[in-house]
Amino acid sequence: MSHPHPELGTPPPLAPGTMRIVPLGGLGEIGRNMTVLELDGRLLIIDCGVLFPEDNQPGVDLILPDFEYISDRLGDVEAIVLTHGHEDHIGAVPYLLRLRSDIPLVGSQLTLAFVEAKLQEHRITPITLAVKEGQTERFGAFECEFVAVNHSIPDALAVFVRTSAGTVLHTGDFKMDQLPLDGRITDLRSFARFGEEGVDLFMVDSTNAEVPGFTMHEREIGPVLDSIFASAERRIVVASFASHVHRVQQVLDAAYAHGRKVAFVGRSMVRNMGIAADLGYLRVPDGILVDAKAVDDLPPDEVVLMCTGSQGEPMAALSRIANLDHKVTVGPGDTVILASSMIPGNENAIYRVINGLTRLGAKVVHQGNARVHVSGHASAGELLYCYNILKPRNVMPVHGEIRHLVANGALAVRTGVPAARVVLAEDGVVIDLANGQAHIVGAVPCGYVYVDGSSVGALTEVELKDRRILGEEGFISIFAVVDSATGRVLAGPHIQARGFAEDDAVFEEILPQIKDALEESARGGASDAHQLQQVMRRVMGRWASGRLKRRPMIIPVVVEA
């Protein structure tokens, strides 16, 4: 297997008749999915999603793919093909279209509807092309055939790309549920046809590659929800992804069967379910929906609240409910259902919400204690079927952390794919496809781009480190007035500290040391404020480390008089 490493150099110029594949996100992480295909000087982008921040990225709203690789070549982009409507595949589209607004967006009806709603908030009117399974469209050097795949959102598509340099099948996110709620199964007949035609590179979802067997059917969730609804004494709160139309459908059906009204809570949930209902993807029983503002007027045992926040996102509705920071409240007798899996990296945030809700007296039902969620991704057994049906010449696992990619590559090898033809790549690693063989040829810069309030890309790791220090170690400011002629300290030093458990009096013992160090430095020739500030920083830092066992952020200020 080919393993990327930091020593990879800049890739060579693209040779004629060769297709280049550059993943800018989604490899080595769950999220930020974006892949660039290049041929004959033209580019095709598959997906453009976001990654959600973790606890060690305080203040960050979203993490985008790094567009630097294509920033000076946006005129070469033929189209952005979107496999489905989840945020980790469409969430970064507005930020890319800010750079060039007329790049055509290609996707299914529901996917484009979700994207257009997001773009409306950014005041961007896109050029779109709605496609269906079985449809083939040409975008410059790339002929794309779209294929139905089953996922945890309706209207998901895989894309088979035919070019003069070879063929690529990108699954997007998929599974092989044989009893889907909407009756739309993954089109294995087309997969077999592609196998007969020849698949030069199979880019395949790796999320569940470590999970043996087959992913459970969505239909098995319905009876579980029904039993929970039947035993619930008071209000029911269900948290799910704002795009999980199938799960919302099951909640609506259970609520209808048990005589309950449903209110959507959270802006994205209200928006997405409104779109899904308008387009016919969500069947809403008559009279079942009520406004969230009206739920307090209904008996608690007649209410279901459908909200966001199943991943413990701090600003989502469920986290705010758990923190008593929302107009919706829960208490003894209420039931909260987390109808989603735990995305790797979110475990601590999710358990924090579960503990908060439990402390309030609610009964919390989640994947750990009941079958209230089914994954949207193919498990190992399903992936083996795909490899045997397709017989791909080369395999490139995508969409997953490193362990998922490696596990998926091992499955390919077990079905007969030569180990040398399994390309294990990470974000930024460049793969060239020529003469039926894919190989790593280099790497391009591919860092995290942070959305921080209104700024995009301005926040760096340096500022994030400062935020972590402020949050974990505290803050100390030191102020002193120094005679510019004699170096004598005229006022101060004064200390202001935040984030320390110790009483302010503890800092009194360091003040004489700072004053002596300043005057000694001035006598030794330190003549400007910057040098004296560094003296204060060093003395304060050594003392805080030794005395308080802390490494706080220290801001020294010297005023010369």
The full DSSP string for 301-367 is GGEEEEES-TT--TTSHHHHHHTT-SS----TT-EEEE-S---TT-HHHHHHHHHHHHHTT-EEE-T
Which three-class secondary structure state does DSSP give residue 4?
coil
DSSP state of 420: G
**Distance, CA of 160 to chain centre:** 25
Torsion angle, alpha carbons of 283, 287, 290, 295, to 10: -130
Break the chain into its structural domains and give their ranges.
Answer: 19-213+375-456, 218-365, 474-560
Least confident of 146-155, 279-288, 365-374, 518-527: 518-527
Q: Which of 339-348, 428-437, 511-520 is most confident? A: 428-437
Q: How far, in Å, CA of 529 to CA of 522, rounded?
A: 10
CATH of domain 19-213+375-456: 3.60.15.10
Q: How far, in Å, CA of 282 to CA of 304, rounded?
A: 17
Q: Where are the alpha helices (DSSP H) in 339-489?
A: 347-359, 380-390, 402-414, 461-473
With pLDDT > 90 as the criterion, what percentage of the chain qualifies? 54
Give residue-wise pLDDT tens across range 215-237.
989 888 889 999 999 999 899 99
Q: Which of 296-310, 332-346, 528-542 is most confident? A: 296-310
Q: What is the mean pLDDT of the chain?
A: 87
Cα separation values, 158 from 11, 149, 151, 203, 264, Å: 28, 6, 11, 10, 30
- CA proximity to 247, closest of 371, 358, 162: 371
The structure tokens 């803050």 sit at 475
CATH class assigned to 474-560: alpha beta
Nearest-5° Cα angle at 156, 182 to 143: 135
Q: Please list, in sequence order, all residues whose beta carbon lies within 8 angstroms of the beta carbon of residue 7, skipping any fewer than 6 positions away.
A: none
With pLDDT > 70 as the criterion, what percentage of the chain qualifies? 91
Q: How far, in Å, CA of 381 to CA of 389, rounded?
A: 13
Q: How far, in Å, CA of 393 to CA of 384, rounded?
A: 15
Residues 545-551, mean pLDDT to the nearest whole number? 78
Q: Report yes or no: 273 and 305 within 8 Å, Cβ to Cβ.
A: no
CATH of domain 218-365: 3.40.50.10710
Give residue-wise pLDDT tens across range 85-136.
999 999 999 999 999 999 999 999 999 999 999 999 889 999 999 999 999 9
pTM (predicted TM-score):
0.82
Query: Comparing 554 with 190, which gets the higher pLDDT?
Result: 190
